[in-house]
Structure 1
């Protein structure tokens, strides 16, 4: 059989009419893709941008700095007294100054109790005293007469005490002394009907009024306090003791005078006022619970009017802040407390803007500032910004285009706080 008649017509059609165009299209597409791939530019790779931490700095300057210890306490009166009625009776009058907050002078009459009964008691005791005087004089004359009579009788024996009337004379003398004591008691009771101010002071609280009956040794008249000086009891820690001179008293009575000045600050109506004081003494024991020593600061004449300002009086009960002046440290550095890092180090920024972790000697740590005595030199640039991760020599960038303004500001701030 002939081969032409054996091949199927569909196969012939596929080989001559379909496959050649498909192969040509595939070859063309492959060439186009290869050319496009060859002409395509490789993607540009961006180099990573390194971001340096930005820090705030200040310039360190050495200076003589006076150490201050800051503590707090409550103003107390130097002397406080609760007046108690010493006699019973009806209140006849009271002083116009006897009210809470009223001022008085030493010797002022504060309260007058009805004196009639005590005046009568004094008159009666004086009468009995006069009678006792007369009886003593009469008995003395009788004793002298008895001695003369014994001699005139020519008795050689010693007369008995009864003959010489010595017991009778002793009794008359004792009665006279008792009458004299009764007069003094009556005079004292009468004087106690007048309640006088024991010192210059002020009334804290009044308990009585006119017409009220009071009882001796039980009725309170008023609570008063002196105004010549005020005291503030101030706690200091054992570490703070080395910064200041503390007045001490010894068993032989010798006391050391510290002459330590104390600046007292208190706020009234949103304004802060100051008073000058001094350390008067220290208490005799350290508190076993808190391990604190209490020193007592004194402010003289706390109720005096200030001619240079509208400063109010330093009232009893006022909560105050006390700044105790200590010794002066030469060539010291005062930095913000936040600039002092762990393990007593600071971060110093070099001229190449690299960090140096530098150890320092800390003389005093305050709430806002720290006082350094070694480890820095004038002109060092100190980092103030908190940093989470720090490596010695790491690069930083200093905040601000003109760092001299920041340095000047930091320098002025430091000088103002010294």
Structure 2
């Protein structure tokens, strides 16, 4: 082999070696990694962790065994209201001091006196006409006696019409009619004279006065406005679904529901007047579609007692109506009601149970329920985000096992 051939073979050998070395290194690295994987310890797969129990507070369900109390608002209005009006055309002679707004007047009290002179003259003339008619009747009665004697003496056979004329029966009827008409005119004149004295028809409170001495009034002119003081009304509005809990007067004399009326601004905290539910209006409000009720309060001005405050006409009162008694309901705080018709209960297995319930009544301080809820069961009072049926729960202050 020549020197030239030896040099060429050495060059090729070096090139092959340079190519082979990286491949050997890579293969050795792969072999080592494979051995490490085969001999390393295998980690076991963990089961998913159990959902962590939520910390909650609970309250026992309480049985409700009393009357439902409904709250409503209403306006005081009079049970009797009268616009006192003149019935004659006359001049006002005098007005009583009692006819001032805010003054109480008794039944029969003279409030306005009209001038009587013209009416006294009319009565005198009517009585004179009556006396004249009575005299004419007496004369005619004498004529009747004479005519009857003449008819009996003649004894003639005449027709019925001729007999009536001979006995002057038409003249007698006319005289009697004149007396009756004169008596009616006297009665009318006496009535007009009585109407010059305008009285209070019932015990009343003067609300407004229009009459003034010396003023001319005609029939129908307003003189004053009166309201009765024996009883007043409070008109209330309640939801239609609340009517089933109310009691109304019955035909056998059973009274309606008792109502307590409050006016904190005028009477102070805790002071109230009592009334009775007496009537349900025959329709609902057009605006709120609420049922309208009427409550009656006796002696509204507290004239027969010193312990009760007087009502004020037009005042806006809070009414608390004592409704029917319930014995099978559960009372809960309004905040414990979830979604409007469910209650969260912590079951015996300390898991969340979402119970459907029927809402019987919603009050400001409690909601009355009926349904799958028993007295003593643990109602969850704590809000839970992402709550789900069967979620594990634990009580505040309890250990990991759920026991206090």
Whether these two folds match at TM > 0.5 is yes
Alpha-carbon distance in 2 for matches of 1:55, 1:168: 109
Tell me the alpha carbon deviations over residues 60-113 of structure 1, each in whole angstroms, 9 at most, x when there is no partner: 332413112222221111111111101122212222211111101111111111
**Stretch moving more, 278-287 or 348-357:** 348-357
2:240 is the alignment partner of 1:243: no
Alignment of structure 1 residues 301-380 onto 2, 5 Å: 301-305=299-303, 309=307, 311-342=308-339, 344-349=341-346, 355-380=352-377
> Which one of 168, 171, 175 corresponds to residue 168 of structure 1?
171
Structure 2 length as normaliser, TM-score?
0.75
Aligned counterpart, 1:74:
75
Match of 1:390 among 358, 365, 387: 387
Equivalent residue for 2:211, pick from 208, 213, 227:
208
CA distance in structure 2 between the partners assigned to 1:392 and 1:292 by the alignment:
38
SS of the residue corresponding to residue 93 of structure 2 reads: strand
**Aligned CA distance change for structure 1 residues 131 and 58 (closer, same or farther; 3 Å):** same
1:92 has 2:89 as partner? no
Query: SS of 1:263's equivalent?
Result: strand
Give the match's secondary structure for 2:165.
coil
2:62 aligns to what? 61
- 1:55, 1:397 within 8 Å by CA — same for their partners in 2? yes
Structure 1 residues 389, 90: CA separation in 2 closer, same or farther (over 3 Å shift)?
Answer: same
Q: Specify every segment of 5 or more residues in structure 2 that has no aligned partner in the other structure, as ranges.
A: 1-50, 399-404
**Which residues in structure 2 correspond to 1:19-418 (within 5 Å)?**
58-157=59-158, 159-217=162-220, 219-247=221-249, 257-269=254-266, 271-272=268-269, 273-286=271-284, 291-305=289-303, 309=307, 311-342=308-339, 344-349=341-346, 355-394=352-391
Structure 1 residue 55, shift from structure 2 partner: 5.9
Structure 1 residue 54, shift from structure 2 partner = 7.1
CA displacement, residues 117-154 of structure 1 (integer Å, 9 cap, x when unaligned): 11111111111111111111111111221111222245
**1:132 to 1:316, Cα distance in 2 relative to 1, 3 A:** same
Find the aligned partners of 1:276 and 1:325 in 2 and give their Cα distance. 11
RMSD of equivalent CA atoms: 3.0
* Cα separation, 2, equivalents of 1:286 and 1:145: 78
1:291 Cα shift?
Answer: 4.7
**Aligned pairs (5 A) from 1:6-17:** none
Tell me the SS of whatever aligns to 1:198: coil
The DSSP-based 3-state class of the residue aligned with 2:88 is coil
Taking structure 1 as reference, are residues 74 and 399 closer, same or farther at Cα in structure 2, changes over 3 Å only? Answer: farther
SS in 2 for 1:161: helix
Query: How many residues are aligned here?
Result: 345
**Distance in 1 between residues matched to 2:334 and 2:241, nearest whole Å:** 18
Separation in 2 of the partners of 1:59 and 1:167?
99
1:407 maps to none
In the superposition, relative to structure 1, how do residues 97 and 396 fare at CA in structure 2: closer, same or farther (>3 Å)?
Answer: farther
User: In 2 relative to 1, CA 129–55 (structure 1 residues): closer, same or farther, beyond 3 Å?
Assistant: farther
In structure 2, the CA distance between the partners of 1:203 and 1:307, relative to structure 1 (3 Å rule), is closer
Q: Distance in 2 between matches of 1:59 and 1:135?
A: 99
